[in-house]
Amino acid sequence: MQPISHAHTATADITRLLAGQHHDPFEVLGCHRQGKHWVVRALLPDTAEATILVGGSRLPLQRITDTDLFTCQLTQDTPVRYQLRWRGTDGQWRQAEDPYRFSPVVGDLDLHLFGQGKHEHIYRVLGAHCCEHDGVPGVRFATWAPNARRVSVVGDFNQ
C-alpha cells in the first residue's frame, strides 16, 4: 500500500477544527472515503513528524501547512485499521489508536428515546464507560451539553 497525493480538506473545516469550534470533528478527522480511495486525517499538536501504521507498513502523514493537522491518502479501496505514530517536539515517539478511526457509538434508538425524554437507562449511554470497540479496549464518553461550545475530558492521559 502506497500513499498517493495530498488530500484536500476544506479550509473552513480546518479553521473551525483548529479553533475548537467544529460541530463534528468526526467529519474531518479519522479515515474517510475520498473518491476511489481513503484519506486519514489526524490532529496532532506539538508534533514534529507522524506516520500511520497499517499492517506492517509505515506511511508518512503530511502536515497541512502551518497547522497541527496531518493527512495521508491511501490507495486502498476499503477502509483500514491503523494506528498513529508520531514524534513530539520533545523528541519522544508515541504510538496510539486514532480515536477518530472509530465511529460514534451512541445509537439511533438511544438518540430517539433521549429526544423524547423517554430513555429509562440513559445512564448507560451518557458518561464514561469501559468498552471494547472493533477489538480495541478503551473508554467511550458521551455527554449532553446543548449550550456548550465544546467539551473536554481532562486526565493524566492528556499531554
Same domain, 34 and 78: yes
Which residue range is the domain that position 109 belongs to? 102-152
Residue 159 falls within a domain, yes or no? no
pTM of the prediction? Answer: 0.82
Which pLDDT value is given to residue 80? 80
Residues 6+ apart with CB under 8 A from 21: 149, 150
The owner of cell 478511526 is: 101
Helix (H) or strand (E) holding 110: helix 108-116
List the CATH number of the domain containing 85.
2.60.40.10
Instruction: Tell me, yes or no, whether 9 and 81 share the same domain.
Output: yes
Domain presence at residue 158: no
* Residue 12 pLDDT greater than 50, yes or no: yes
Tell me what percent of the residues of the chain surpass a pLDDT of 70.
93
Considering the domain architecture, whether residues 138 and 84 belong to the same structural domain is answered as no
Length of the chain as a residue count: 159
Q: Does 72 share its domain with 135?
A: no
